[in-house]
Amino acid sequence: MSASPQVPQAVDGPRLGTTLFSLTNEFHSRRFTFEQLVAKVAQLNLGPGLEIVGFQSVRGFPAVSDEFAARFRELMAQHGLVPTCLGLNSDIAIRRDRLMSTEESVAYHEPQILAAAKLGFPVARYQFTASAEVVRRLVPLAERVNVKLGLEIHAPYKVNSPEVMAYREMYDKVNSPCLGFIPDFGATARTVPPPYLDTLRNRGISEALIKVALDIWMSEDELPAKRANFAREARATGADPAAASALGVIFNILVPQDARAWQEIMSQVIHVHAKFYDFNADGSEVCIPYEQILPVFRDAGYSGYMSSEWEGQMYSDADGFEMLRKHHALCRRILRIGT
């Protein structure tokens, strides 16, 4: 599959890219190999940035063979793509009997960071299950191999959530250029994906309970209170526990937050997850206010990469490439990037 040249972009705002996580359906169904995904991302001009998730895309990860590393770099050069971010796994619950200790978690992350360096990724995304102390201990390695560690600020957390503040305070104390944040736009949502709610209606969830869930979702309560309130309402209506649990997912994947909140940490943003779900007839994202969010990043001078991240595969079998194409078109229109 031959690739089309990537459209150049002036560096006056976020630069576009894609995470292969968006193409999970295409990969897991075996319709595309890893190399075919990379080639088609380039062919459809969905780069130039390319993000991958280590455990999803690299067989044997975090071990990376010399052959795979060389081939990956060849693919980037061949297709005019730029490696932007490697998604790490911060799974501290891989044992049945207990969670990882701090020392075990540090050891678990170290080879993943080395893998990022070997593959040429300048940024490695970590998750909240890697504690602030774990990340602090990883800084010397990150500095040595020149890989920046980025906490993905993902719903249900906000810029000023206590969980995020713990990392912000550690960052201030350590003061390392290898520490930063990766905003996930699902933490700046305006509503919940209507198609997801439709799947729940088909499972028998009542309109009344859906309305209650959305009202709780829009509230200013912290996550524990939202979950407790929803659980109480679900029990009161006699909702099927499995279906109610599926509805409760909305509290974890999206959270309402003013787009301007990102300004507080903009100087420490090292990558962006441009989360999206669906589009209306005029091409706007239905859940996430891109018309408000992207100007905040552009006007603040952010010129790093932004990975288009479709999470609609949670409820949809739509063509991931087509969804990415629509998302890039939206971002280009807002940012006034030539096509």
Coil, helix or strand at residue 106: helix
Ranges of beta strands (E only) in the chain are 15-19, 49-53, 82-87, 123-126, 148-153, 179-183, 272-276, 305-310
What tokens were used for 160?
Answer: 């000023």
In angstroms, the CA 109 to CA 125 distance is: 11
Q: How far is CA 299 from CA 24, 262, 295, 330, in A?
A: 33, 12, 6, 18
User: Which amino acid, 6?
Assistant: Q
> Helix crossing, 66-79 with 34-43: angle to 10°?
20
154 is catalytic: yes
Interacting residues of 29 by C-beta distance below 8 A, sequence separation 6+: none
Return the bridge partners of 269, or none: 181
Q: Which helix (H) or strand (E) holds 320?
A: helix 320-335
Q: How far is CA 14 from CA 106, 120, 233, in A?
A: 32, 20, 42
In angstroms, the CA 109 to CA 126 distance is: 9
For tokens 């919940």, the residue is 192
Return the bridge partners of 124, or none: 86, 149
Four-CA torsion 234, 236, 242, 247, nearest 10 degrees: -10
Catalytic residue, candidates 28, 79, 109, 154: 154
For tokens 């100087």, the residue is 267
In angstroms, the CA 43 to CA 228 distance is: 47
Instruction: Yes or no: say if 312 and 25 are a contact pair by the CB < 8 Å rule.
Output: no
The dihedral built from the CA positions of residue 74, 26, 294 and 188, taken in this order, carries a sign that is negative
* Residues recognised as catalytic: 154
